[in-house]
Amino acid sequence: MGVPFIDLKRFEEGFADAFTEKVRTLTANTSFVGGAEVQKLEETLCIENNVGHAIACANGTDALQLALRAVGVGPGDTVLLPDMTFWATFEAVVNVGGRPVTVDVNAADLQMDFDLFVQAVEKHKPKAAMIVHLYGWASARLKEFRAFCAEKNIPLVEDGAQCYGVRVDDASVYAGALASTISFYPAKTFGAAGDGGAVLTDDDEIAARLRSLGNHGREQHYAHGSVGWNSRMDSFQAAFLNLSHPHLAKRLDSRREMARRYEKDLPALGWQCLKPPANIIENGYLNVTLHDPAKRPALEAHLKAKGIGFGMVYPGAVQDQKGAQGWIAGSVGGDVARRVSTSVINLPLFPYMTEPEYQEVLEACRSFSG
Ligand SMILES: *Cc1c(COP(=O)(O)O)cnc(C)c1O
């Protein structure tokens, strides 16, 4: 039969028709950019995540660039970021004129390492820092990162592209951040029908800057207070997200359920399967298993032969990307990110994965004799 790594086609009964109908109405009204749907989405984001402001934008990468600009990062400013993340985190720093310095990740939770981060702050005196909540959970030491940055006056931008639905100490992971970002790319846990993003903050001034920067630095319609760019969200994406939202809890529960079963069943097969830190409820974005790098190619071949899709998130450390050369201004720590990149395999995980599919994946894992 085979099981894909991800299948986004499993919409709830009636969902696709409801969206088609909505597109018809928005088109008839020529409600194309911003407007009531975007406003409704922003309100939902504020209420659900307990934050004061949500500013929708064009995508998750722009959300990072808006957040960096809004907290004051500009040309020549040093910004710390983890050595294991999606490339957009690095790009965002460079695109706003910053000098990126990578910090290695922690071997236990695979998030940026707090002790190395403290060392990196002392050594590089950054203007700002970015933390990334990767794999569908977050650092066990998130509160310490926030407190340390607040004490040192280092604005901390939180890349929350992958973590919609993550709970830390029973609150939304986004709550309490100075500025955190969301990506609504279709494959993320709260996915749109195209690109979309948002920045969340409690700070009124940061919120005002975000809103203006993503709309050509506008203060009024033709009064431009700064040089921003166009990063507005279109109404179709907001409408798709608004229609998705009532189903989101079920989608997340279904992801979490399978994530937990992997965490329970794979160790019984002798596999190393990562689990979120104890104070964090994951959103089931990704399954993460680690293997002996020498054996990983054989495992890849085995899964391919069995028709089981898989991912490698991520196959390289940030500092080793060709595109980093010429931009990277330093890297702090060891080679945990590198080692993870040579040993990681992500098994299929998506909303409404079925029991037979799960059993087929598990059977393929069981029959691997690496
Ligand atoms: C997806 C992702 C982004 C970028 O989001 P887009 O909406 O694709 O621009 C940034 N950071 C991380 C960690 C991501 O996973």
What is the pLDDT, as a whole number, of residue 239?
A: 98
Q: Which atom of ligand 1 is nearest to the CA of 188?
A: 1
CA-based Rg of the chain, rounded to a whole angstrom? 21
At residue 24, does pLDDT exceed 90? yes
Ligand 1 near 183 CB (within 6 A): yes
At residue 87, does pLDDT exceed 80? yes
SS3 content of the chain, % helix, strand, coil (to 5): 40, 15, 40
What is the pLDDT, as a whole number, of residue 152?
A: 98
CA of 130 relative to ligand 1 center, distance in Å: 13
Residue whose CA is closest, atom 10 of ligand 1?
A: 88
Torsion angle of C-alpha atoms 367, 274, 256, 130, degrees rounded to 10: -140
What is the pLDDT, as a whole number, of residue 293?
A: 98
Per-residue pLDDT reduced to its tens digit, 93-109: 999 999 999 999 999 99
% of residues, the chain, pLDDT over 70: 100
Per-residue pLDDT reduced to its tens digit, 225-236: 999 999 999 999
Please state, in angstroms and rounded to a whole number, the distance separating the CA atoms of residues 18 and 300: 40
Q: Which atom of ligand 1 is nearest to the CA of 162?
A: 15
Give strand pairing partners of 180: 158, 200
Are β-strands 179-183 and 197-201 bridged in parallel, bridged antiparallel, or unpaired?
A: antiparallel
Q: Which atom of ligand 1 is nearest to the CA of 64?
A: 10
Q: Which residue has the tokens 């310095």?
A: 101
At residue 171, does pLDDT exceed 90? yes
Ligand 1 near 93 CB (within 6 A): no
As a whole number, mean pLDDT of residues 109-124 equals 98
Return the amino acid letter for 344: V
CA of 311 relative to ligand 1 center, distance in Å: 16
CA of 250 relative to ligand 1 center, distance in Å: 23
Q: Please state, rounded to an integer, the average pLDDT across all residues of the chain.
A: 98
Residue to mutate (ligand 1; options 59, 62, 83, 86; most atoms within 8 A of CB): 86
Per-residue pLDDT reduced to its tens digit, 307-352: 999 999 999 999 999 999 999 999 999 999 999 999 999 999 999 9
Per-residue pLDDT reduced to its tens digit, 233-251: 999 999 999 999 999 999 9
What is the pLDDT, as a whole number, of residue 279?
A: 96
Q: How sure is the predictor about 1, in pLDDT bands with cuts at 50, 70 and 90?
A: confident
CA of 366 relative to ligand 1 center, distance in Å: 33
User: Considering the entire predicted model, what is its pTM?
Assistant: 0.98
What is the pLDDT, as a whole number, of residue 59?
A: 98
Ligand 1 near 197 CB (within 6 A): yes
Instruction: Return the structure tokens found at 345.
Output: 């395999």
Ligand 1 near 65 CB (within 6 A): no
Q: Could you tell me where the DSSP H helices lie in the chain?
A: 15-28, 36-49, 60-70, 87-95, 114-124, 142-152, 204-213, 235-268, 296-305, 336-343, 355-366
The answer to whether 314 and 218 have CB atoms below 8 angstroms apart is no
Are β-strands 344-345 and 289-290 bridged in parallel, bridged antiparallel, or unpaired?
A: antiparallel
Q: How sure is the predictor about 211, in pLDDT bands with cuts at 50, 70 and 90?
A: very high
At residue 362, does pLDDT exceed 80? yes
Residue whose CA is closest, atom 14 of ligand 1?
A: 161
Residue whose CA is closest, atom 1 of ligand 1?
A: 161
As a whole number, mean pLDDT of residues 74-94 equals 98
Inter-CA distances, 366 with 265, 266, 310, Å: 10, 9, 15
What is the pLDDT, as a whole number, of residue 258?
A: 98
Please state, in angstroms and rounded to a whole number, the distance separating the CA atoms of residues 143 and 158: 12
At residue 370, does pLDDT exceed 80? no
Q: Which atom of ligand 1 is nearest to the CA of 85?
A: 13
Residue to mutate (ligand 1; options 157, 183, 195; most atoms within 8 A of CB): 183
Ligand 1 near 61 CB (within 6 A): yes
Residue whose CA is closest, atom 5 of ligand 1?
A: 60
The answer to whether 26 and 152 have CB atoms below 8 angstroms apart is no
